[in-house]
Structure 1
Amino acid sequence: MKPMKGQMALFDERTPAKSRREGAAAKHAAPSRRLRADWRAARDFAADMVAETLYPTRCAVCDKPGAVLCGSCAAALPYIDALTACPRCGAPFGVVQCSECTSVLMEPFGYKEPPYDEMASALVLTEAVRRIVTVYKDQNERGLARPMAQIMARYLPPRWMGAAPVVTFVPATAAARRRRGFDHAEHLARELSFIAGLDFAPLLVAARSRDQRKLGRTGRIGNMRHSLTALAGASMPAAVIVVDDVCTTGATLFAATEALRTAGAKIVWCLTFART
């Protein structure tokens, strides 16, 4: 075939026979790779269909098949009203006088006020919400990360977005990652950054600590103190949004904020899916 103007012919009379054979092999390799890729895609699709037939996707709350979180259950969740929530710590009814971030409650942490600049949470941790979190991170229903992040994205204040913050997350311990097979907060943070159009970066490293769910308030404070450090070599942005699934006492987010500020972050905001 005559080459187009400006292009070289694939072969000409001066091309050695060996080079022509290698070129011909390369020419036919690409369709072969595409065929294998198409076959793998078809195989994975068929496997998904079989799995969906045998074990259909079900709502984490009501167990109805069809979606990981059905519309009815999503609408009935206990959303926090941002207009009545504390503008500093996000407590559901603290807009006038907050009972959660007072100096009395901050004293065991060694603070007079929360170390982060602001915090927001989307939901009150009821049994329905707790079930979503449990199914997501302990039953490996990773598909819940997207609807959870979509709910959280609604609670991003415009003033946060204006600073073009980087989204990061509270990392799970190595033991928790091995047990679950993934880092639940990392998946939430990635989904949130995609939905909100913000940059994502891992900025924190978890040290060894006990499972927070087995500890009371005082135990959580001591357990999380200095349990997080900044990732070595990470370029610390000026403004950061720290993502986690649940806020109980705030000890984990306090530790994350301390680590980020020590490493050079100027503004630290925190966002969680739910809070007690």
Structure 2
Amino acid sequence: MNPRGTRARDVRAPRSPWARLDAVHRAVRETVAQTCALVAPRDCPCGAEGAWLCEGCRTLLASAPLRVETCCDALQLLDAARVHEEGPHQPAGVDHAPLLPVLALGEYTGDLQRLVLAWKNGGMLHLGSPIAAGLSTAVQQLGLRAAGDASGDGPLLVPVPSRLGARLRRGEDHTAELVRAMSRKGAGQPLLLRAVPTTGQGGQGARQRRTRRIRLTSPVPRELRRSGAQAVIVDDVVTTGATLRGMHEALTEAGLQVGGAVVVASARVPSRSRTIDQETLQESWHAVPTRHRSESPSRGGAEPSRGAIVAGLRERPHHR
């Protein structure tokens, strides 16, 4: 205790000018960050604050791709259908052989749907890089299943062409930019072809969505056709698979070998793809012989039973 009864004064070292400058720098940086957040919020599409892409969504885009070709009605080949008999744990049914393998990063719902919409229509172009990284992994998995890739630069990455109106509205061709980002990550070499797609699929029936045609308006270079390199179709979302089928037909007619497709999201995943819509059932009706069906459902008659469809396909010759 001070013998004079006065309060002792704490002795502090004078603050360094560098420490003061560092404090000012932190204050300015925080002010600038808060101001920018008012103009362009730094939030993840899932709603997480403080980052343009949170760790949860980053992990979602880096998850193992899913095989979803069995969920796409337009990709099923009726000529390659196989009937399996009723067993103790499964009913009788039909197994279809898909036209090509399709890998997706996940189901088009929840956070993945928000990420896709923010990337396509929300102007969050920075999401293209992590999406491209996830699809590059999917392309590598396709390469393990595909044979005969004679190109030293990997497969040909062919984006599904966007409609002109969509490109003007977004200010870019998002699938073409995605393919370029995948190429920078070593997934393959981009092949940007001009094409004339049909009108958008919104408002169309299930049968129309499964018969989409795409016409290429730019030729495929001759050296690529002769190289034997396989093409991988790249798209954002797959629903029925009609667009992928149309691209497969267009590329095949142009002389390219199509090894598969990769998409960011799929409207259905295998665990939820067991339902068949009404138009799919009516299309299956036309493959059933007349003696196995009653009046056509389009005329108000009874619909074909599962047994009739299975019986009709069982009598059809099997093609390998």
Q: Give the TM-score range, shorter chain.
A: 0.5 to 0.7
CA deviation after TM superposition for structure 1 residue 275, in Å: 0.6
How far did residue 49 of structure 1 move?
Answer: 11
CA-CA distance at 1:211 after TM superposition? 2.2
Q: Kindly indicate whether residue 224 of structure 2 is the aligned counterpart of residue 231 of structure 1.
A: no
Indicate yes or no: 2:219 matched with 1:219: no
CA contact under 8 A between 1:242 and 1:271: conserved in structure 2? Answer: yes
Residues 175-232 of structure 1: per-residue CA shift (max 9 Å, x gap): 111111111111111111211242112134133x32224434223124x22x232523
1:183 and 1:263 map into 2 onto residues whose CA distance is 22
Q: Deviations over 1:130-168 (max 9, x none)?
A: 111111111222111111111222222142597221111
* Distance change >3 Å, CA 100–CA 242, structure 1 → 2: closer
User: 5 Å matches for 1:33-72?
Assistant: 51=36, 54-67=39-52, 69-72=53-56
| Partner Cα separation in structure 1 for residue 199 and residue 79 of structure 2 | 22
Larger radius of gyration between Structure 1 and Structure 2: 2
Give how far 1:50 is off.
7.1
Structure 1 equivalent of residue 309 of structure 2: none
Count of paired positions: 211
Cα 1:125–1:200, aligned 2, differ >3 Å: closer, same or farther? same
Letter in 1 for 2:116: V
Alignment match, 1:144: 127
Measure the CA separation in 2 of the matches of 1:246 and 1:105: 27
Which residues of 2 match residues 191-270 of structure 1 at below 5 A? 191-207=181-197, 209-222=198-211, 224-225=212-213, 227-229=214-216, 231-232=218-219, 234-235=221-222, 236-237=224-225, 238=228, 239-270=230-261
The equivalent of 1:188 in structure 2 is: 178
* Gap regions ≥5 residues in structure 2: 1-31, 82-95, 268-320
1:178 aligns with 2:203: no
Task: Work out the percentage of aligned pairs sharing the same amino acid.
Answer: 24
Task: Write the letter of the residue equivalent to 1:249.
Answer: T
Assess, with a 3 A threshold, how the Cα gap between structure 1 residues 179 and 249 changes in structure 2: closer, same or farther: same
Tell me the CA shift for residue 51 of structure 1.
5.0
Q: CA RMSD in A?
A: 3.4
In the superposition, the TM-score normalised over structure 1's length comes to 0.65
* CA 1:149–1:233: 2 relative to 1, 3 Å: closer
1:230–1:260: 8 Å Cα contact kept in structure 2?
Answer: no
Query: CA separation of 1:212/1:127 partners in 2, compared to 1, >3 Å: closer, same or farther?
Result: farther
Distance in 1, matches of 2:157 and 2:33, equals 31
Aligned to 2:57: 73
Tell me: CA distance 1:101–1:172, structure 2 relative to 1, closer, same or farther (3 Å): closer
Point out where structure 1 has 5 or more consecutive residues left out of the alignment. 1-46, 92-97
